[in-house]
């Protein structure tokens, strides 16, 4: 066995990484650390600019809209709706088994729909996922890291369970 | 933007055949395409004093070697890179500023380049920068982002795949009339609807076709252009969008043309209704309706109805789209194919593909929410 690193550019390398149990995980920096720290405590926090009274996500060093440098972190409810989603039918990213859903969520607190949290949708069949579906956050532990994930909210309509 | 002092024209076109495999060394095909462009224009290569080389792979060829191979003896201007219509604008600006007189703009496609995969640390799986919010959820490729945008777009306006399918279908019809196109068999609505789903809603037939080859055009000042072989095709205006770090996440424009579109119309003193031919960037088929609406060519949400059945957009229709087959069917030339075909049409040299009315063309390049656009005209 060599200690050569798997080549993530090839399907073979992706299979090697999968066999080793390596899954893609965040590598936080100073700007993003508060998001992942909150997730470790099973809290969803995103940036809020009090100068222009708006949320933004993903986190940036300053406010994207008004360029204010003072930006705070606010806890949000973790409730939202599906802005859009895809169903991957072919291996796209290492560590994933196709098919899988990638969705973007608009949190209910955010006024503009350009606040989008990328997630998977779990807790229902792939074909149950629909546009504007109400969803809520939960936290999934992956190799010691807690990832915010979303599942159907109680008022979501689940076709496969009807 | 527009040139302030003089008009700048595209005066020569050169192509190698688009092929599935690279058949000759890339430097050789680049020189071949450039010499064809010079010959097409009727300009001696020694008169050319500027070059822009675009590649999408690593390592890139030496621009000096290409310039020497063409026979450029006095290279006064060189700025490599860019995609589609934007480098034409950069070259026009250099000519207008007097930095050079005649510029070759050449694209080399070499599929040796791997598609760009997310920057995952192979030992730990860690992913930094903005990708840390996407890759841990399996979102890492352009096609997936296109899928997210496409589903949102179709949902917002109640547009069906069966309607937008007419874009790849009609472009395939056009490719069948284009000797340079790689795709050479017809596509039906059933063929499209039965094509493999990769990242639902994106199907295999929504993706462009990687090819190898070199593709060049020659630009020069108006006074010189008028002495050459063909009717000059002028670059009236162009603009690139401002790209922020969150480029894929910018708020969508939902009303009217984007600021980029307003800028190119204002600078050209023309409006969307004046655009005869529409060359919409089609790295993915869904870019076409989004660009049509971003450029104000049709009202928001109307693309599905406009393209359905194909009559409005096929050669001979009201506004033919991508008369060469586009990247979906001619091949992925990163927007260069759109420019070359627009020039052939405006000259009246497009043979059996020739559109009835071809005095102006609007060209878009790259993603509809971060790309560039420009206007070509015979006047
Ligand atoms: Zn602000």
Q: Does the distance separating the beta carbons of A104 and B250 come in below 8 Å?
A: no
Evaluate whether B104 touches B36 at the Cβ level (below 8 Å): no
Instruction: Give the distance (Å) from ligand 1 centre to CA of residue A61.
Output: 11
By C-alpha distance, the chain B residue nearest A146 is B136
Q: How far does B137 lie from chain A, in Å, by closest CA?
A: 6
Q: How far does A58 lie from chain B, in Å, by closest CA?
A: 7
Window A:84-113, CB contacts with B under 8 Å: 84-90, 92-96, 100, 102, 104, 112-113
Residue A96 forms part of a structural domain: yes
Beta carbons within 8 Å of A144's beta carbon, 6+ residues apart: none
What is the number of domains present in chain A? 1
What pLDDT score was predicted for residue B338? 97
Among A9, A32, A112, the residue with its CB nearest the CB of B132 is: A32
Evaluate whether B338 touches B357 at the Cβ level (below 8 Å): no
What pLDDT score was predicted for residue A67? 84
Annotation: CATH topology of B143-208+237-377: Peroxisomal Thiolase; Chain A, domain 1 (3.40.47)
Which residues in chain A are contacts of B152 at CB distance < 8 A?
A: 83-84, 131
By C-alpha distance, the chain B residue nearest A94 is B138
Window A:113-142, CB contacts with B under 8 Å: 113-114, 116-120, 131, 142
Rounded CA separation A71/A115 (Å): 15
By C-alpha distance, the chain B residue nearest A16 is B122
Residue A132 forms part of a structural domain: yes
Residue A66 forms part of a structural domain: yes
Evaluate whether A13 touches A6 at the Cβ level (below 8 Å): yes
Q: Does the distance separating the beta carbons of B120 and A94 come in below 8 Å?
A: yes
Q: ipTM exceeding 0.90?
A: yes
Which residues in chain B are contacts of A95 at CB distance < 8 A?
A: 125, 138
Window B:225-284, CB contacts with A under 8 Å: 244-246, 249-251
Residue A39 forms part of a structural domain: yes
Which of B135, B152, B206, B243 to mutate: most A Cβ within 10 Å? B135
What pLDDT score was predicted for residue B116? 66
Q: How many CB atoms lie within 10 A of CB B254?
A: 10
Q: Does the distance separating the beta carbons of A8 and B118 come in below 8 Å?
A: yes
Which of B58, B127, B133, B290 to mutate: most A Cβ within 10 Å? B133
Choose among B71, B65, B12: nearest CA to B47: B71
Q: Does the distance separating the beta carbons of B125 and A24 come in below 8 Å?
A: yes
Cis check: omega of the bond before B59, within 30 degrees of 0 = yes
What pLDDT score was predicted for residue A2? 46
Rounded CA separation B214/B54 (Å): 10
Summarize the confidence of residues A116-124 as an average pLDDT: 96
Confidence of residue A97 (pLDDT cuts 50, 70, 90): confident
Evaluate whether B230 touches B343 at the Cβ level (below 8 Å): no
Rounded CA separation B338/B280 (Å): 8
Pinpoint the residues of chain B covered by CATH 3.40.47.10: 8-111+212-230, 143-208+237-377
Among A91-95, A158-162, B323-327, B354-358, the range scoring the smallest mean pLDDT is A91-95
What pLDDT score was predicted for residue B218? 98
Q: Which CATH superfamily is domain B8-111+212-230 in?
A: Thiolase/Chalcone synthase (3.40.47.10)
What pLDDT score was predicted for residue B113? 64
Chain A touched by B58 (CB under 8 Å): no
Chain B touched by A2 (CB under 8 Å): no
Tell me the H-state helices in chain B: 26-41, 63-70, 85-96, 142-157, 161-164, 166-175, 189-193, 222-225, 259-268, 287-294, 303-307, 326-329, 336-347
Among A57, A84, A120, the residue with its CB nearest the CB of B137 is: A120
Residue A140 forms part of a structural domain: yes
What does the pLDDT profile of chain B (379 residues) look like in tens digits?
999 999 999 999 999 988 889 999 999 999 999 999 999 999 999 999 999 999 988 888 999 999 999 999 999 999 999 999 999 999 999 999 999 999 999 999 988 765 567 788 888 899 999 899 999 999 988 899 999 999 999 999 999 999 999 999 999 999 999 998 999 999 999 999 999 999 999 999 999 999 999 999 999 999 999 999 999 999 999 999 766 545 444 556 788 899 999 999 999 999 999 999 999 999 999 999 999 999 999 999 999 999 999 999 999 899 999 999 999 999 999 999 999 999 999 999 999 999 999 999 999 999 888 899 999 999 9
Domain residues for the domain of A107 are 27-154
Residue A12 forms part of a structural domain: no
Q: How far does A31 lie from chain B, in Å, by closest CA?
A: 10
Residue A14 forms part of a structural domain: no
Q: How far does B252 lie from chain A, in Å, by closest CA?
A: 8
């Amino acid at each position: 066995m060599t200690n050569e690193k798997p080549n993530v550019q090839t399907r073979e390398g992706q299979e090697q990484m999968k066999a080793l149990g390596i899954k893609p995980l965040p590598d936080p920096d100073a700007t993003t650390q508060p998001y992942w720290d909150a997730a470790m405590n099973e809290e969803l926090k995103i940036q809020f600019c009090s100068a222009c009274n708006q949320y933004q996500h993903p986190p940036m060093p300053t406010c994207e809209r008004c360029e204010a440098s003072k930006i705070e972190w606010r806890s949000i409810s973790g409730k939202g709706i599906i802005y859009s989603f895809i169903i991957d039918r072919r291996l796209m990213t290492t560590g994933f088994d196709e098919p899988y859903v990638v969705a973007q969520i608009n949190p209910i607190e955010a006024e503009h729909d350009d606040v989008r949290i990328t997630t998977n949708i779990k807790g229902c069949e792939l074909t149950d996922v629909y546009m504007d579906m109400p969803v809520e956050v939960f936290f999934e532990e992956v190799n010691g890291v807690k990832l915010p994930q979303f599942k159907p909210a109680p008022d979501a309509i689940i076709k496969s369970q009807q | 933007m527009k040139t302030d002092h003089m008009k700048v024209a595209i005066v020569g076109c050169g192509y190698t055949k688009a092929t599935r495999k690279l058949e000759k060394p890339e430097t050789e095909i680049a020189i071949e395409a450039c010499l064809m462009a010079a010959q097409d224009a009727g300009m001696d290569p020694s008169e050319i004093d500027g070059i822009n080389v675009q590649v999408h792979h690593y390592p890139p060829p030496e621009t000096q070697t290409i310039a020497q191979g063409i026979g450029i003896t006095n290279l006064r201007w060189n700025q490599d890179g860019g995609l589609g219509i934007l480098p034409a604008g950069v070259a026009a600006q250099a000519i207008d500023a007097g930095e050079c007189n005649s510029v070759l703009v050449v694209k080399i496609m070499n599929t040796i380049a791997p598609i760009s995969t997310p920057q995952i640390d192979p030992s730990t799986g860690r992913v930094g920068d903005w990708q840390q919010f996407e890759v841990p959820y399996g979102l890492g490729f352009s096609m997936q982002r296109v899928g997210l945008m496409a589903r949102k777009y179709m949902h917002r306006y109640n547009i069906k795949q069966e309607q937008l399918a007419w874009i790849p279908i009609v472009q395939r019809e056009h490719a069948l009339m284009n000797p340079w196109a790689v795709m050479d068999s017809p596509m039906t609505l059933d063929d499209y609807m039965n094509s493999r789903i990769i990242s639902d809603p994106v199907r295999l037939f929504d993706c462009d076709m990687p090819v190898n080859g070199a593709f060049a055009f020659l630009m020069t000042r108006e006074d010189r252009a008028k002495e050459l072989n063909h009717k000059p095709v002028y670059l009236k205006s162009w603009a690139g969008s401002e790209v922020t770090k969150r480029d894929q996440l910018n708020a969508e424009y939902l009303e009217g043309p984007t600021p980029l579109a307003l800028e190119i119309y204002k600078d050209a003193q023309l409006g969307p209704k004046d655009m005869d031919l529409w060359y919409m960037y089609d790295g993915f088929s869904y870019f076409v309706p989004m660009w049509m609406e971003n450029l104000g060519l049709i009202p928001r949400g109307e693309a599905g109805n406009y393209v359905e059945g194909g009559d409005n957009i096929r050669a001979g229709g009201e506004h033919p789209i991508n008369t060469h087959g586009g990247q979906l069917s001619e091949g992925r030339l990163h927007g260069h194919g759109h420019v070359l075909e627009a020039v052939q049409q405006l000259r009246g040299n497009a043979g059996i593909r020739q559109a009835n009315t071809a005095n102006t063309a609007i060209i878009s390049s790259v993603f509809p929410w971060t790309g560039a656009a420009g206007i070509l005209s015979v006047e």
